[in-house]
Amino acid sequence: MVPAKRWMSAAGALASVLALAGVPDLAQAAGRCGDPAQRPWCDARLGPDQRAALLLARLTADEKISLMATDDPLGGPLGGFSENAHADTNNGIPRLGVPPVYMADGPAGVRQGKATALPAPIALAAGFDPAAARRYGGTVAWEARHRGNDVIFGPTVDVLRTPLNGRTFEGLGEDPYLSAGLGASWVQGAQKQGVLASVKHLAVYAQESDRLALKMKVAPRTLREIYLPPFEAAVKTGGTATVMCGFGQLNGRWACEDGSVLNKILRTEWGFKGFVVSDHTAVHDAVAGATGGLDMELPVGMKFNAWNLKNKVPQQVIDGAARNILRTMFAHGVFDRPAYANDLTRIDRTASRTAARQLAESGMTLLQNTGGALPLKSPRSIALIGKGANEVPSGFGSAQVQPFSTVTPRKGIAQRAGAGAQVAYDDGRDHRAAADAARKAQVAIVFATDTQGEFFDKSCLALTCARDPLKGDQDGLISAVAAANPNTIVVLETGGPVLTPWAGRVKGIVAAWYPGQQGGEALARVLYGDVDPGGRLPVTFPVAAGDAPTAGNPAQYPGVNKTVAFSEGVFVGYRHYDAKRIKPRFPFGHGLSYTTFRYGGLAVTPTGVQATVTNTGSRTGVAVPQLYLGLPSPGAAVPQPPRQLKGYQKVTLAPGRSARVTFPLDRRALSYWDQAGGGWKVAKGCYRVGVGPSSRDLPLTGAFAQGGGAC
Ligand code: BGC
């Protein structure tokens, strides 16, 4: 083994001394590459392609292959508990100044010792705000950097197919357009901090059940319109440096060996110039992986080693992978800077805490508010009921973070309520005792949580899940409390949609998601109206489990003989509910403000839609006007969803104020994927326009014709 870390820290120390002495350029040059006179690829004035070519010519065949795998069999989703436990490490090639590359999980904060636990990515999705996504990615990457990492595994942009997916909390919801915009912004924010993002998991990864062996049958149109757009945006708009391929087979090819995606779509069509890493243990065959477009195997070269690759694949394949890796490292300055120090003191925890709180506030989604029960009107007594009041829930697996510190809802609410109010707590195990506590208080707030994470799907969509006995009968608890106190508010701290059969019996429902380490503080501020609830649903909440996409069809989910047919095609998420005319409990895009808004002034052209939103209430509030298009179908073989999200904007408005919002439309926004022609096509016909506060509340409607069609 190469003593990479010792070597690295010596170079780092030299660079720090030079930096302290006020010679930053020399410190840079000291970087890790070496003297350009001896090592011409260390000349930072040359372009990354040229530098990679110069260096490649000096590597032995074995050295090239050694770059193609990380060197750390431990770590991964079960590791990360110690401060130095990177998820993966590529030792580099010290002989020629190729620095080691350290990598960390993940999409909700750094999984390496303690870190700032941001609200779950699904809460970020609920924020409907690309600027928030940039800040989110930037916060994660900043901490990853100061834990000594060069690469962060995130964001997770796999579009949600079934709300039973154990990784629902970790993704950005059920809409490709929303996921694409937020994912690309996340990548930009992260890479601005000097860390390489790794968007994951290409191409389709929709369930935990049988995830390692799943055979997925997905039509090209479904792939292009639903599952690929977030990756495409991460590459084209976000400029992601790396991509992680996933588990399972797509139409007969393992994800990390699938040349039709990795070579053809990712590199040739999208122009990706970075490198592809495999998910842990996702490589099945070395030759298929290397020729299929995988560059680096994680966590260790079980397949990508000299035995399997040397003289078994053309040298140009190995050269290609090594070049992709080196070129990316040059392009992102990895050779030209000192190693990042694993130094907690450089993390500004106050700034991270503020980010965690504000991101949580911006994703908190007010689902129901009967009679203006919220915001709270400074009640003198509050009963907090349910264990969730005393916890900071999170999903588990590679997206779990060990928080630096936490504020539980109980703590946050008690602090906000102040000394003048009584805040009682009951863990909710005994429903009668909980009802008694509720009866004695002016307001009862019940907390309900779900269990989610990597490795398993959820066993049911209800809060009270027969196969999740640890949670107890949460639906029964809510009903008992609601019967005892007419002012009952439910706070859902779940990673995704759950059933809410008691909705008609409670006044308020807040989807707080897994709100992260500052969640209790953010929740208190939302409940008291210090801040408007900023969230809108990035996922549909169904009335019944059977209403959800893929429900009741084992061939669709969880699969038969480990084979899953994506036969619903593009009818994923709200597209499914809309096409089947199923009324959701809470539709995609829904979320209330404490004020009211009026929509007007619709102006429609094929290149853009404009509308005016006005705050008609008496408080400052957040509106998220959304644009949906109903595309004309070019024929029975290409059924079109009734509407698809094509634009949104988050605006904060004072009482009486208006904002004119513009949603530009490009050709792609009007296109469907034409399977026969293998390209994007605009159908002839009438394009229906809807603008409003949710996918099921579109007060402004219009239309325009395209391709010689008429309306
Ligand atoms: C997960 C990845 C993660 C990797 C490394 C895998 O189990 O699917 O998302 O990045 O482990 O921890």
User: 607-624 pLDDT, tens per residue?
Assistant: 999 999 999 999 999 999
User: How many domains is the chain partitioned into structurally?
Assistant: 4
Whether residue 444 lies inside any domain: the answer is yes
> Where a domain ends, among 565, 582, 610?
565
Q: Are residues 26 and 125 in the same domain?
A: no
Distance from Cα 100 to the centre of ligand 1, integer Å: 20
- The CATH number of the domain where 380 resides is what? 3.40.50.1700
Whether residue 73 lies inside any domain: the answer is yes
Q: How confident is the model at residue 80 (pLDDT cuts 50, 70, 90)?
A: low
Q: Are residues 624 and 502 in the same domain?
A: no
> Where a domain ends, among 271, 306, 336?
336
Q: In the predicted model, what is the mean pLDDT of the chain?
A: 94
pLDDT digits (tens, 9 = 90+) for 463-491: 988 767 778 899 999 999 999 999 999 99
User: What letter represents residue 425's amino acid?
Assistant: Y
Q: Are residues 331 and 368 in the same domain?
A: no
pLDDT digits (tens, 9 = 90+) for 654-687: 999 999 999 999 999 999 999 999 999 999 999 9
Q: Is the pLDDT of residue 22 over 80?
A: no
- The residue from 72, 150, 175, 279 that is catalytic is 279
- The CATH number of the domain where 78 resides is what? 3.20.20.300
Nearest CA residue ID for atom 3, ligand 1: 398
Distance from Cα 490 to the centre of ligand 1, integer Å: 33
Q: How confident is the model at residue 73 (pLDDT cuts 50, 70, 90)?
A: confident
User: What letter represents residue 265's amino acid?
Assistant: I
Whether residue 346 lies inside any domain: the answer is no
* pLDDT value at residue 78: 65
Q: How confident is the model at residue 77 (pLDDT cuts 50, 70, 90)?
A: low
pLDDT digits (tens, 9 = 90+) for 399-453: 999 999 999 999 999 999 999 999 999 999 999 999 999 999 999 999 999 999 9
What mean pLDDT is predicted for residues 561-584? 98
Q: Are residues 657 and 513 in the same domain?
A: no
Contacts of residue 230, Cβ cutoff 8 Å, sequence gap at least 6 = 157, 158, 159, 172, 176, 179, 180, 183, 184, 199
Q: Which mutation among 201, 207, 280 tests ligand 1's pocket best, with the greatest number of atoms within 8 A of CB?
A: 280
Give the span between the Cα atoms of 126 and 526, in whole angstroms.
Answer: 15
What mean pLDDT is predicted for residues 301-318? 97
Whether residue 391 lies inside any domain: the answer is yes
Q: Are residues 329 and 368 in the same domain?
A: no
Give the span between the Cα atoms of 521 and 526, in whole angstroms.
Answer: 9
Q: Are residues 464 and 533 in the same domain?
A: yes
Q: How confident is the model at residue 85 (pLDDT cuts 50, 70, 90)?
A: confident
Whether residue 18 lies inside any domain: the answer is yes
Q: Which mutation among 207, 242, 278, 398 tests ligand 1's pocket best, with the greatest number of atoms within 8 A of CB?
A: 398
> Where a domain ends, among 305, 336, 367?
336
- The CATH number of the domain where 688 resides is what? 2.60.40.10
Angle at 497 between CA 491 and CA 498, to 5 degrees: 70
| pLDDT top residue among 307 and 9 | 307
Token representation of residue 541: 């909440």
Work out which ligand 1 atom sits closest to the CA atom of 455: 7
Torsion, Cα of 77, 78, 82, 84 (10° steps): -50
The DSSP letter of residue 371 is G
Q: Are residues 65 and 20 in the same domain?
A: no
Q: Is the pLDDT of residue 708 over 90?
A: no
pTM above 0.85, yes or no: yes
User: For residue 108, how far is the Cα from the chain centroid?
Assistant: 8
Strand-by-strand arrangement of the 88-90 sheet = 88-90, 101-105, 151-156, 196-202, 242-245, 275-278
What mean pLDDT is predicted for residues 180-192? 98
CA-CA distances (angstroms) from residue 480 to 465, 597, 628? 18, 35, 40
Q: Which mutation among 78, 211, 454 tests ligand 1's pocket best, with the greatest number of atoms within 8 A of CB?
A: 454
Whether residue 613 lies inside any domain: the answer is yes
Residue 609 β-bridge partners? 604, 663
Q: Are residues 402 and 254 in the same domain?
A: no
Give the span between the Cα atoms of 650 and 621, in whole angstroms.
Answer: 10
* pLDDT value at residue 79: 66
The DSSP letter of residue 560 is B
Distance from Cα 110 to the centre of ligand 1, integer Å: 13
Work out which ligand 1 atom sits closest to the CA atom of 80: 12
Work out which ligand 1 atom sits closest to the CA atom of 77: 12
Give the span between the Cα atoms of 209 and 187, in whole angstroms.
Answer: 28
Whether residue 588 lies inside any domain: the answer is no
* pLDDT value at residue 76: 66
Q: How confident is the model at residue 4 (pLDDT cuts 50, 70, 90)?
A: very low
Q: Which residues line ligand 1 (CB under 6 A)?
A: 76-77, 87, 105-106, 153, 200, 279-280, 398, 454
Give the span between the Cα atoms of 335 and 33, in whole angstroms.
Answer: 5
Nearest CA residue ID for atom 8, ligand 1: 279
Work out which ligand 1 atom sits closest to the CA atom of 205: 8
Q: Is the pLDDT of residue 26 over 60?
A: no
* pLDDT value at residue 21: 40
Whether residue 580 lies inside any domain: the answer is no
Q: Are residues 255 and 380 in the same domain?
A: no
Q: Are residues 391 and 531 in the same domain?
A: yes
Token representation of residue 219: 């039509």
Q: Is the pLDDT of residue 12 over 80?
A: no
Distance from Cα 22 to the centre of ligand 1, integer Å: 41
Q: Are residues 561 and 694 in the same domain?
A: no
Token representation of residue 48: 């990354």
Catalytic residue list contains 578: no
The parent domain of residue 15 ranges over: 1-30
Q: Which of 2-11, 150-159, 524-533, 585-594 has the lowest mean pLDDT?
A: 2-11
Kindly report the backbone phi and psi dihedral angles of residue 5, in degrees, each rounded to the nearest multiple of 5, phi listed first. Answer: -70, -35
User: What letter represents residue 479's amino acid?
Assistant: S
Q: Are residues 162 and 200 in the same domain?
A: yes
Q: Is the pLDDT of residue 3 over 90?
A: no
Outline where 146-255 has alpha helix (H).
176-192, 220-222, 229-236
Give the span between the Cα atoms of 487 and 215, in whole angstroms.
Answer: 49
* pLDDT value at residue 72: 79
Distance from Cα 146 to the centre of ligand 1, integer Å: 21
